[in-house]
Chain A
Amino acid sequence: MNLTLKIALIIISLIYIFLILKAIRRKKINVTYSIFWIITGIALIICTIVPNLIEYISKKLGFETPSNMLFVITIFIAFYLIFNLTVILSRENRKNTLLVQEVSLLKKQVKHLEEKIDGAK
């Protein structure tokens, strides 16, 4: 890999990590959910510094080319992430339903009590 490309890739990775940290600071993302993104940033830097590592691993695992291995890994991780998101979404949905129900029931009760007080006056 050519040195200019290497430096460019490392700079891009650093900017990427910096943006994630900034997002945490601005509370755009929870620390829990940010861990994954920070790890991908660090992995990018490692791969740039030692490209032979990827080549070595893919050969050991029997992939024809390193890029094939990267594609497979990326797709698996992406699927896992999306599945996880739908799990989180379902959970949030349930919580939302519960909140709407409880608020609506409370409102009904408040109205009922108000009417009772008015009646007693």
Chain B
Amino acid sequence: MKILLIIPAYNEQENILNVCKTVEQSKVKVDYIVINDGSTDNTLKILEENNLEHINLVHNLGIGGAVQTGYKYALENDYDIAIQFDGDGQHDINYVETICEPIINGQADFCIGSRYIDNSTSKFKSTWIRRVGKDIISAMIKLFWKQKITDPTSGFRAANKKVIKIFANEYPTDYPEPESTVTLLKKGLKVTEKPVNMHERKAGKSFVNPWTSGLYMIKVSIAIIVDSIFRTNGGTSE
């Protein structure tokens, strides 16, 4: 079983070395690839000096484009499972096995690490406003697809080969988590969730503020509604 961690990093000079070290020292045997998304700080320097496996995007693409690069890399190098893993230290390496389990057993094609599936696993639950946003997205997915996704914005997710192939081909650009999940449901793939623990980001600033969150909700809503109403596949012919 070849497993790859896709670690997108944008201006993560304080966190990236620690994140990679914890991955390297963990008991689970996984490869990782950091996708440096045109950072303007010393992220690239740290990656090179410490010989951390990385791809340096020649221009900033945003989170979606960066993560998709990871899926393309996973496809090219024939990985069995690809896991998105944040470069800011939010995700816990000890739960990699947890979210891989349904995929290895063949119970699911895609497994989301959820903070909300039970109330005990994760102490960190994010701010109330983000939880409201998450609940709205959850309700929309439930309405259209009859499946409860408790943590649709979680960026800690494991994908099998089928999903890797799909994501390498089409992946939304801006804030891609919920929309890409809908893409999979639309294709009739099995999506499941497992409880995981998440930390608060260790250092640096998150990009979220009220204005971008509002815009985020609007964009995600439009994307989910369009994806769900037009159930035939759109034409992204390139």
Contacts and interface: CB of A to CB of B under 8 A. Distances in A.
A101 interface: yes
Given A104-B69, A105-B73, A97 B56 contact: no
A89 to B, nearest CB: 13
Interface string A91-102: 001111110110
B68 A101 contact: yes
Contacts of B54: 108
Interface in A71-119: 93-98, 100-101, 103-105, 107-108
B1 interface: no
- Which of B59, B68, B236: most chain A CB closer than 10 A? B59
A104 B55 contact: yes
A71 to B, nearest CB: 31
B65 interface: yes
Contact of B61 (A95, A97, A105): A97
Contact of B55 (A95, A97, A108): A108
Interface in B191-236: 236
Q: Interface extent on A, as a size class?
A: 10 to 19
B28 interface: no
A101 B238 contact: no
Contacts of B72: 101, 105
B59 A100 contact: yes
Interface string B67-98: 01100110010000000000000000000000
B65 A100 contact: yes
B55 A100 contact: no
A101 B65 contact: yes
A100 B72 CA distance: 12
Contacts of B236: 94
Contacts of B143: none
A103 B58 contact: yes
A105 B68 CA distance: 11
B238 A98 contact: yes
A100 B73 contact: no
Contacts of B59: 96, 100
A101 B238 CA distance: 14
A97 B54 CA distance: 18
B73 A97 contact: no
B61 A101 contact: yes
B39 interface: no
B57 A104 contact: yes
A85 B69 CA distance: 27
27 contacts: A93-B173, A95-B238, A96-B59, A97-B61, A97-B65, A97-B68, A97-B173, A100-B57, A100-B58, A100-B59, A100-B61, A101-B61, A101-B68, A103-B58, A104-B55, A104-B57, A104-B58, A104-B69, A105-B55, A105-B69, A105-B73, A105-B76, A107-B55, A107-B56, A108-B54, A108-B56, A108-B73
Interface of B: 54-59, 61, 65, 68-69, 72-73, 76, 173, 236, 238
